[in-house]
Amino acid sequence: MSLILGSHISLNQKSKYLLGVVEETICNGANCFMIFTGPPQNVKRVDTSLFYKEEALELAKQHNIDFSNCVVHAPYVFNLAGLDTDGYIVNILQSEIERTVSLGIKYFVVHPGSFRESKDEGINNIVRNVLEVFRRTSHLDYFFCLETMAGKRNQIGACLEDLQLIFSKCNWDPKLALCLDTCHLHDSGYDLSKLEEFKKKLSNLFGGLERVKVIHLGDSMNPIGAKKDRHANYGLGHIGWETILKWAYDDYFSSLPIIVETPYWKKQVKSKRSKETREILVSPYKHEISLLRNKKWEPIPDKDCLPIYIKE
């Protein structure tokens, strides 16, 4: 069984945008990726025609990376559960979806957002915003994947029933899909070790598992139900390696793009100009992806790298 594994990769001019993304994906031993189409904290965007798309596609083809298995994450500059009085939310979403499709990517992941006055009001705002986005993008082929959330403060999406209500109010539009985040699900109170029980609940709520299109696979720093949203490296958190592996190789989930979501390691390095040391962050993705492919947990290969968190 060949898993579709990837991670978030930075899209930037220095590494030639998409070409650099594909190169890093190959280096990590991955066969998919997740990107933001620009900085996640603002709406400044470079035209996708400058992304070295053709060169990236050619390199991807040589390494069996299919862009249709890749993911774009929406930026963090709007609240989907907010009242969109001036069209700001919908305009951003429309633009991001158009950019996503122009790259040959069909999975677009969005946080449901947080309510202000009441959850019902927030859900109604989500439905209103999503339906308007669907009206504007009806001619495009993509999936609008609402991500499960950890339940911090007034977040919507920590409860599967809330997401099911959104789907229902959106008339079960075929574009509407789910992105399951294991850290978020665990932190919101779901026991992920009971996978078959969880899948049965999911199937009952959504008429099967087909609405699930993307998996964000990460361990958690926190006990179940903590509502914290703090990711941990594989095998070092409260979800545990066996459960992570069970999710990765599940009969259905293993056919989906699985995005590794684990924190960077810390490493102390000596300055070239002085004897002082400084802390840098090191990507764990090549190692974490190899763990999943080999179905065997191994410690961090660089003894000088330390995880941010280890479960006691």
- What's the pLDDT score for residue 246? 99
- Mean of pLDDT values over 116-122: 95
The reply to whether 238 sits in an annotated binding site is: no
- 75 pLDDT band, cuts 50/70/90, is very high
| pLDDT at residue 271, rounded to an integer | 79
pLDDT digits (tens, 9 = 90+) for 234-257: 999 999 999 999 999 999 999 999
pLDDT bin (cut points 50, 70, 90) of residue 308 is confident
pLDDT at 83 over 90: yes
Query: Known binder of ligand: residue 139?
Result: no
Task: Tell whether 227 is covered by a domain.
Answer: yes
Q: What is the pLDDT of residue 275?
A: 74
Cα 161-181-241 angle, rounded to 5 deg: 125
> Is pLDDT above 90 for 143?
yes
> What CATH number is associated with residue 118?
3.20.20.150
DSSP line for 92-156 = HHHHHHHHHHHTT--EEEE---B-SS-HHHHHHHHHHHHHHHHHHTTTS--EEEEEP----TTBS
Closest to 186 measured CA to CA, from 128, 240, 130: 240
pLDDT value of residue 227: 97
Q: Is residue 312 part of a domain?
A: no
Is 63 labeled as ligand-binding? no
Residue 82 lies in a domain: yes
**34-59 pLDDT per residue, tens:** 999 999 999 999 999 999 999 999 99
pLDDT tens for 172-182 read 999 999 999 99
- Write down the mean pLDDT value for the chain: 97
> Does the annotation list 287 as a binding residue?
no
The verdict on whether residue 117 carries a ligand-binding annotation is no
Residue 141 within any structural domain of the chain: yes
Q: What share of the chain has pLDDT > 70, as a percent?
A: 99
Structural domains in the chain (count): 1
Residue 312 has pLDDT above 70, yes or no: no
Q: Is 181 annotated as a binding residue?
A: yes
Mean of pLDDT values over 17-33? 98
Supply the range of the domain harboring residue 213: 4-306
Does 150 fall in a domain?
Answer: yes
Q: Is residue 311 domain-resident?
A: no
Average pLDDT for 7-35: 98
- The tens digit of pLDDT for each residue in 154-196 reads 999 999 999 999 999 999 999 999 999 999 999 999 999 999 9
Confidence of residue 1 (pLDDT cuts 50, 70, 90): low
Instruction: Tell whether 210 is covered by a domain.
Output: yes
Q: Report d(CA 232, CA 253) in Å as an integer.
A: 21
- The annotation status of 184 as a binding-site residue, yes or no, is yes
Q: How far is Cα of residue 62 from the mean position of the Cα atoms in its chain?
A: 25
Determine the Cα–Cα distance for residues 17 and 245; give it in Å rounded to an integer: 32
